[in-house]
């Protein structure tokens, strides 16, 4: 009995140290599975990171009597400087899209991190390109920092179910610190054994990278998000059109494509200015024909992509409806179809009939409709609409 009480006390202590207060009720149902896979990937990344550090130090001249401190310092400054520039540019170009595809960007960040580590391990083999290789890897790692940090925050929002984001984030940091400590201890044993053999280093890196990528794929694949992004909306819509039923978040999330380039959703720009779609009053009347919604669906004048102009009173449900409408329109026409405006008017009637049942089904299946991840821009317009307030 005394041994059992000690085990129970130790379990409670570990839970208090590393799991959010109120676990498991204070977090999402996918929390534990995600954290287990995330722990495994963090451990493998920690060990490969130690291999990269060893390679960088050797390439910078540690142990070489002919190397100078100044040369190593300049290399480090260039590495950090180019990385900072890359961080700023990536955040500017992709920052607003990271929330919408958090799983995919999370996986992208880890793949890019492995590529950066491989470049650092390989850098000493080509001394003439050492600085260029190290700087490129530094840019990649800074991009990883932006994408990984932002998507981690998005996943924390999903996991925290009692307005306990700070607690979930803090315990995630404690878990990662413990895993990195374990990785450092293992690295102290392994790195001296393989440091004198390039092939042993490459083999260990390859095995750990395979483990890292697999664990990451399983981690992001285990996340069950209840908010709709375009991929999940397209999956739910396809099933609804075929079967007349709404998939639940637990059924739709495993079908979400996680690798870049996969998925069949239409390219649609949501929340564009009115001038991006129309150039005359007659075009405005064409877009309004048969439309009593708080959005205008059309085609961009510059690129021909399907675009949505949102009314100033449009809410989350209207955004969901507009993207659903864009998906349906894309299936029925193309940007070069001369009859596309007549097809657009026909789809208004179809969406008017099916969307109330579709929206009710979303709520009944457990989807959130009061917020979404459909990458809507902030532009709004005002026009006469027959929609009742």
- Residues 331-363: b if buried by 16+ CB within 10 A, e if exposed: eebeeeeeebbeebeebbeebeebbeebbebbe
Euclidean distance between CA atoms 83 and 88, whole angstroms: 9
Q: What is the pLDDT of residue 17?
A: 83
Confidence grade of residue 113 (pLDDT, cut at 50, 70, 90) = very high
For residue 375, pLDDT beyond 80 = yes
Q: Give the other-Cβ count within 10 Å of 236's Cβ.
A: 25
Cα 38 to Cα 216: distance, rounded to the nearest angstrom: 7
pLDDT surpasses 70 at 67: no
Q: Which of 102, 90, 92, 181 is nearest to 144 (CA)?
A: 90
Q: Which residue has the higher pLDDT, 354 or 334?
A: 354
Query: 99 versus 354: which is more confidently predicted?
Result: 354
Which pLDDT band, with edges at 50, 70 and 90, does 389 fall under? Answer: very low
**pLDDT exceeds cutoff 70 at 24:** yes
Give the pLDDT score at 251.
95
Nearest CA-CA partner of 22 in 161, 118, 149, 131:
161
Q: Tell me, what's the pLDDT at 206?
A: 93
What is the residue-averaged pLDDT of the chain?
A: 86
Strands 306-310, 368-373: pairing kind: unpaired
According to the model, what pLDDT value does residue 342 have?
83
Token code pair at residue 151? 């998507």
Please say if the pLDDT value at position 7 is more than 80: no
Residues 349-374: tens digit of each pLDDT: 899 999 999 999 999 999 999 999 99
pLDDT at residue number 366: 94
Q: Mean pLDDT: which of 2-6, 91-95, 244-248 is highest?
A: 244-248
Separation CA 343–CA 334 (nearest Å): 10
pLDDT category, 263, cuts 50, 70, 90? low
Q: What is the 3-state secondary structure (H, E, C) of 308-358?
A: EEEECCCCHHHHHHHHHHHHHHHHHCCCCCCCHHHHHHHHHHHHHHHHHHH
Does residue 87 surpass a pLDDT of 90?
no
- Give the end-to-end CA distance of the chain in Å, rounded to a whole number: 67
Find, among 228, 314, 298, 306, the residue nearest to 269 by Cα.
306
Mean pLDDT of 265-273: 87
Q: Where are the domains of the chain?
A: 16-223, 228-373
Lowest mean pLDDT, pick from 13-17, 65-69, 101-105: 65-69
Across 18-29, average pLDDT: 88
What is the mean pLDDT of the segment spanning 270-299?
A: 85
d(CA 61, CA 45): 25
Looking at residue 386, its pLDDT comes to 57
What is the pLDDT averaged over residues 244-250? 94
- For 304-324, the pLDDT digits (tens) are 889 999 999 999 999 999 999
Q: Can you name the CATH fold of 16-223? A: Growth Hormone; Chain: A; (1.20.1250)
**Residue 17 CB neighbours (<10 A):** 11
Q: Burial of 35 by CB count in 10 Å (0-12 exposed, 13-18 middle, 19+ buried)?
A: buried
Highest mean pLDDT among 52-61, 93-102, 312-321 belongs to 312-321
Local structure of 296: helix, strand or coil? strand
**Nearest 10 degrees: CA dihedral of 249, 255, 260, 262?**
-130
pLDDT score at 232: 94
User: Quick one: average pLDDT of 41-59?
Assistant: 86
Check residue 39 and give its pLDDT.
Answer: 92
Task: Using a cut of 0.75, tell me whether the model's pTM lies above it.
Answer: yes
Question: Average of pLDDT values for 42-48?
Answer: 92
């Amino acid at each position: 009995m005394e041994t059992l009480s000690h085990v129970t006390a130790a379990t409670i202590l570990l839970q208090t140290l590393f799991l959010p207060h109120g676990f498991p009720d204070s977090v999402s149902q996918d929390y534990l599975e995600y954290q287990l896979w995330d722990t495994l990937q963090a451990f493998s990344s920690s060990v490969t990171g130690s291999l990269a550090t060893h390679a960088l130090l050797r390439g910078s001249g540690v142990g070489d009597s002919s190397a100078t401190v100044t040369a190593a310092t300049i290399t480090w400054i260039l590495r950090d400087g180019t990385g900072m520039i890359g961080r700023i540019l990536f955040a500017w170009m992709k920052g607003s899209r990271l929330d919408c595809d958090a799983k995919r960007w999370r996986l992208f960040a880890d793949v890019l991190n492995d590529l950066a580590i491989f470049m650092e391990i390989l850098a000493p083999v080509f001394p003439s390109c050492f600085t260029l290789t190290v700087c490129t890897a530094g840019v990649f790692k800074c991009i990883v920092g932006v994408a990984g940090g932002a998507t981690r925050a998005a996943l924390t929002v999903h996991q925290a179910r009692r307005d306990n984001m700070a607690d979930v984030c803090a315990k995630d940091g404690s878990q990662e610190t413990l895993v990195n400590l374990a990785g450092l201890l293992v690295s102290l044993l392994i790195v001296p054994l393989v440091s004198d053999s390039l092939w042993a280093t490459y083999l260990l890196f390859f095995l750990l990278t395979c483990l890292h990528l697999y664990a990451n794929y399983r981690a992001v694949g285990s996340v069950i998000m209840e908010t709709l992004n375009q991929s999940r909306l397209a999956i739910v819509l396809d099933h609804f059109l075929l079967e007349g039923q709404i998939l639940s978040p637990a059924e739709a999330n495993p079908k979400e494509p996680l690798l870049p380039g996969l998925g069949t959703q239409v390219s649609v720009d949501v929340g564009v200015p009115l001038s991006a779609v129309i150039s005359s009053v007659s075009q405005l009347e064409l877009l309004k024909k048969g439309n009593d919604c708080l959005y205008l669906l059309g085609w961009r004048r510059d690129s021909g992509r399907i675009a949505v102009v949102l009314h100033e009173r449009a809410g989350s449900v209207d955004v969901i409806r507009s993207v659903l409408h864009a998906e349906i329109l894309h299936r029925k026409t193309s940007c070069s179809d001369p009859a596309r405006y007549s097809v657009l008017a026909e789809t208004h009637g179809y969406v008017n009939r099916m969307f109330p049942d579709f929206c009710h089904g979303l709520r009944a299946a457990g989807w959130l409709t009061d917020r979404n991840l459909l990458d809507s821009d902030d532009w709004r317009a005002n026009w006469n609409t027959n929609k009742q307030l």
